[in-house]
């Protein structure tokens, strides 16, 4: 019999595509989507849905019991830009939801957890190029502090209570189906939408801000592959890398399909966040331990984004 899986935060950017992929693999009825708000009809109509406020342990526990859940993907989080505006709310959402799920696993209510970490665990003192798995982690953002603390708590529950919790440090994720919200890497999604609808984009990062990024297909594959591994070899939260580019480089790639596209640069408070993050990621440990390999480069991704967005109402 298939595991019953609960996704908390199923209507967000990664959660929504993860839910649909898991439903395709394991069947709609085995995958319970949940969020504080309703999702798009594709998600609402393809399997069970429950309302859950991720900060409310009773609500999570009730749904776990109701559906006999084995595995939880906890995707609810406040991202970097939004977290700088709401530090306490971000800390509360990002940490209390994790504690609830870790404690439910410790008590034996579920057997496996996926929790997303981020390149935000790194900070200004981290080596910027090909940032290694193990290096200085001194994040300077509210979001980064919550992700680093989360990684340490996952490690603690794994070591002391034998909780099977797994994580990857997502870079910026780019997709055409669902918009991200509140992140620093969001520009790399907005740019495609604006290129198609307005042929111009005002970028909130400077033209040479290089950041690690990944196409959604690769991010979903990394998540599901890591959860499928029999046993974690070494790390609770793995670096995963794919591509890295600057706003100017992505704009130049878009111009190959939309020659009259124009970009301007008006950096805002998110520039400081971007400046504190790595430019590229060394993911050799993930490659070694669970055969991680990305597929999409900037060219493939741009061509798919433009084709798909042109066929969709944006």
Are 7 and 15 in contact by the 8 Å Cβ rule? The answer is yes
Query: Is 157 a known active-site residue?
Result: no
At a CB cut-off of 8 Å and minimum separation 6, what does 274 contact?
184, 205, 209, 211
Rounded to an integer, what distance in angstroms lies between the CA atom of residue 201 and that of residue 209? 16
Are 210 and 273 in contact by the 8 Å Cβ rule? The answer is no
From the CB of 301, what's the least distance to ligand AKB, in Å?
A: 15
The residues binding ligand AKB (CB under 6 A) are 79-80, 118-120, 143, 170-172, 183-185
DSSP β-bridge partners for residue 19 = none
From the CB of 85, what's the least distance to ligand AKB, in Å?
A: 12
Q: Tokens representing 285?
A: 């440990």
Looking at 143, 170, 235, 238, which residue is catalytic?
143
Q: Which is nearer to ligand AKB, 119 or 163 (CB)?
A: 119
Q: Which is nearer to ligand AKB, 63 or 119 (CB)?
A: 119
Rounded to an integer, what distance in angstroms lies between the CA atom of residue 187 and that of residue 165? 30
Q: Which is nearer to ligand AKB, 164 or 275 (CB)?
A: 275
Backbone angles phi, psi at 186, to 5 degrees: -60, -25
From the CB of 150, what's the least distance to ligand AKB, in Å?
A: 12
From the CB of 74, what's the least distance to ligand AKB, in Å?
A: 14
Handedness of CA 283, 288, 293, 297 (dihedral sign): positive
Rounded to an integer, what distance in angstroms lies between the CA atom of residue 226 and that of residue 207? 34
- Token pair 């005002």 is found at 202
User: Active-site residues: which are they?
Assistant: 143
């Amino acid at each position: 019999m298939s595991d019953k899986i609960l996704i908390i935060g199923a209507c967000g950017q990664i959660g929504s595509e993860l839910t649909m992929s898991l439903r395709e693999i394991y069947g709609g009825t085995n995958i319970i989507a949940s969020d504080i708000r309703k999702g798009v009809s594709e998600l609402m109509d393809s399997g069970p849905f429950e309302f859950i406020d991720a900060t409310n342990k009773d609500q999570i526990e009730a749904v776990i019991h109701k559906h006999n859940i084995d595995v939880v993907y906890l995707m609810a989080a406040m991202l970097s830009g939004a977290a700088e505006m709401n530090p306490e709310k971000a800390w509360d959402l990002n940490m209390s939801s994790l504690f609830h799920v870790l404690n439910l696993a410790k008590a034996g209510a579920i057997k496996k957890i996926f929790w997303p970490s981020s390149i935000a665990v790194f900070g200004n003192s981290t080596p910027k190029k090909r940032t290694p798995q193990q290096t200085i982690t001194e994040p300077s953002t509210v979001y980064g502090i919550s992700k680093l603390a989360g990684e340490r708590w996952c490690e603690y529950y794994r070591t002391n209570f034998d909780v099977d919790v797994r994580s990857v440090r997502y870079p910026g994720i780019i997709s055409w189906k669902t918009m991200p919200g509140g992140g620093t890497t969001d520009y790399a999604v907005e740019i495609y939408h604006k290129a198609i609808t307005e042929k111009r984009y005002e970028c909130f990062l400077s033209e040479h801000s290089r950041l690690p990024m990944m196409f959604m297909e690769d991010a979903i594959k990394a998540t599901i592959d890591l959860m499928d591994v029999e046993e974690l070899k070494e790390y609770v939260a793995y670096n995963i890398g794919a591509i890295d580019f600057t706003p100017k480089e992505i704009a130049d790639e878009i111009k190959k399909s939309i020659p009259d596209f124009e970009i301007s640069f008006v950096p805002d408070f998110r520039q400081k966040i971007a400046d504190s993050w790595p430019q590229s990621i060394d993911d050799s440990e993930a490659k070694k331990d669970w055969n991680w390999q990305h597929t999409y480069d900037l060219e493939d991704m741009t061509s798919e984004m433009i084709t798909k967005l042109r066929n969709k109402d944006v």
